[in-house]
Structure 1
């Protein structure tokens, strides 16, 4: 992971983009350090791809400035920026071999024929495709085509590589494998990556940091741990992973502990570092894996009885949907730590159970 070294490598300052009356990107600012893998994460229409296109120079900001490596590039065309872009479709030439596809981006570079050939070989070795150099795109797998596109994008030695949904066309298992390949290649080259994705797991795996976007604005920037464990608002808490949300009101605050009357849960004790006071309306957010499931009521702590309404087995863990007396259904995850559940209590449909959670497991949200 890159460390801050003073001036940011990429600085986006107050960037806004309008298409007619539609506000696609709304006063966005953030910094990226050299050598980071930085993700722009959000759902369809949140503005992440428009922001990426402005970084590439394919769109002009309505307002604001963009700096790359200390230089204002806001008004520079794409071909004058130290940037390359890898498109979701890969955009490979079907009639060209793997080698020629990689070499295509170098044809306007001031290189001799030998230097160009050496550069292509270097890139093919980097993505481990040297044995496939003579094949056409239709003769290699989807994952290999993705690596050809990456090699072509890196061949011109850009300072910044923009990747638009780079793994969207791959199946789940290949996507997971390729994520680690991308991280390894980025570490070897030292090129700064900005990745646009709607896939939360992909962003959390790849990124040194990510920006979570909604309706053209950035709602939170941070590491995977920051946005998952310490969301700053309800949108981020609800968008990243699975979560249970309960409306409530603060009854009292003592130091870093609050007593909250929560809808469906009753009175619970939660840890908080937020500036809250008695009477404040809040939302309690609790991840399913932070909730324990038991046959008998545990001693002390936050607990509530319920009945297993449904369950799903995922191999490594199981998801239980527990109906409370109020009718509210709460999700809880249980790790399947032993093969076949040997010696491990496993709840079944319609079982009466108790849910419990530590005070530190609940996140208090005020926004």
Structure 2
């Protein structure tokens, strides 16, 4: 999807510069530097305890960096209190006032602004129209669905026209189908408003669907920043490769580099070809990784020019649109293969059954070589 507006070229609208945060002797964020463009929808992605929420709270002003600087629109915000920052924050709990109508919830943050009551009402209605809830302004929060409450919270966060909107796990309280639908809505709203969004999430699919760029965090540090396709197809380390999506990863050793890279993988009992990589040298130890969907599974031997290995179907799971095969090799290693069920059959489009001999093949360009 990724309908979020592309950032304005050459502008570091939000600049996080060598920021560190420690609690006592425990480092929560370690020397993080990130530049976020104006109008970008940027995601901080990582597991629990990786530092992403602490970083978001420092952007909001709820925490002060132990060291480093935070700039917004060219101004140093490092020690500026939250209420003086051009920022608003949407919390995971939504924090709607149960005794107020939807319209009054949206207008609540405007009550201290220099504007008339009628202007506040008009602004609230504009925001409700933006999130497609204009006909529900008279209701109370308990009369709304989870998805509707989420949009009310978003409308309230946008009402003050912040320069930056921070979203902390915004879809965590929604079920899967509603979460998928709401991802499109958030991206469309961000595109319409042009406001810079910074989203914290542990959900890799959510980050990849929403964001123009993603910062993958681990133990307080940023491991990689890039678009969804960059961090998925070209991870820069074993952690990112393993955290984003499913992957088969084994230890290997570079055997030769001559037009293509030949890499031995003892656990698989084979030597594979990969694209030539000028950053590697013969004799170097590497991690060798292949995404499950890049591997073709067949009962018949594949054509020449492909990396090929033989095995037996050890396990099989049918998910409707695709099937997951776990194929055991002669060495005892297991490779996971994701096969799209393109044909409707009584067996769910399966290309092989449990215990059957199969051939696995993948293009050299699909092999990811990582130095760690």
TM-score (norm 2): 0.96
Match of 2:369 in 1: 364
Match of 1:312 in 2: 317
- Deviation larger for 56-65 or 97-106: 97-106
Q: Does 1:260 align with 2:287?
A: no
CA contact (8 A) 2:320 2:348 kept: no
Within 5 A, what are the aligned runs for 1:229-308? 229-255=233-259, 257-265=260-268, 266-300=270-304, 301-308=306-313
Q: Secondary structure at the match of 2:18?
A: strand
Instruction: Note the residue ranges of structure 2 that are not aligned, 5 or more in a row.
Output: none
Task: Return closer, same or farther for 1:151/1:254 CA change in 2, 3 Å cut-off.
Answer: same
CA contact (8 A) 1:269 1:359 kept: yes
Match of 1:130 in 2: 134
Match of 1:353 in 2: 358
Q: Secondary structure at the match of 2:345?
A: helix
**In the aligned structure 2, how far is the partner of 1:170 from the partner of 1:91?**
15
Give the Å deviation of 1:327. 1.1
Q: Does 1:163 align with 2:167?
A: yes
Give the Å deviation of 1:30. 0.8
1:142 to 121, 143, 146: 146
> For residues 67-111 of structure 1, what are the alpha-carbon distances to aligned partners after superposition, in whole Å with 9 as ceiling and x for unaligned?
000100001000100000000000111111111111111111111
**In the aligned structure 2, how far is the partner of 1:272 from the partner of 1:290?**
18
Task: Return closer, same or farther for 1:117/1:4 CA change in 2, 3 Å cut-off.
Answer: closer
**In the aligned structure 2, how far is the partner of 1:366 from the partner of 1:203?**
26
TM-score (norm 1): 0.97
Give the Å deviation of 1:274. 4.5
Q: Does 1:216 align with 2:216?
A: no
**In the aligned structure 1, how far is the partner of 2:43 from the partner of 2:349?**
40
> For residues 31-66 of structure 1, what are the alpha-carbon distances to aligned partners after superposition, in whole Å with 9 as ceiling and x for unaligned?
000000000000000000000000000000000000
**In the aligned structure 1, how far is the partner of 2:289 from the partner of 2:112?**
54
> For residues 93-137 of structure 1, what are the alpha-carbon distances to aligned partners after superposition, in whole Å with 9 as ceiling and x for unaligned?
111111111111111111111111110110010011111111111
Q: Does 1:326 align with 2:355?
A: no
**In the aligned structure 2, how far is the partner of 1:123 from the partner of 1:305?**
58
Q: Secondary structure at the match of 1:293?
A: strand
Q: Secondary structure at the match of 1:173?
A: helix
Match of 1:194 in 2: 198
1:17 to 14, 21, 37: 21
**In the aligned structure 1, how far is the partner of 2:278 from the partner of 2:239?**
17
> For residues 191-237 of structure 1, what are the alpha-carbon distances to aligned partners after superposition, in whole Å with 9 as ceiling and x for unaligned?
10000000000000000000000000000000000000000000000
CA contact (8 A) 1:272 1:363 kept: no
**In the aligned structure 2, how far is the partner of 1:208 from the partner of 1:236?**
17
**In the aligned structure 2, how far is the partner of 1:273 from the partner of 1:205?**
30
List structure 1 segments (4+ residues) > 4 angstroms apart after TM superposition.
Answer: 341-345
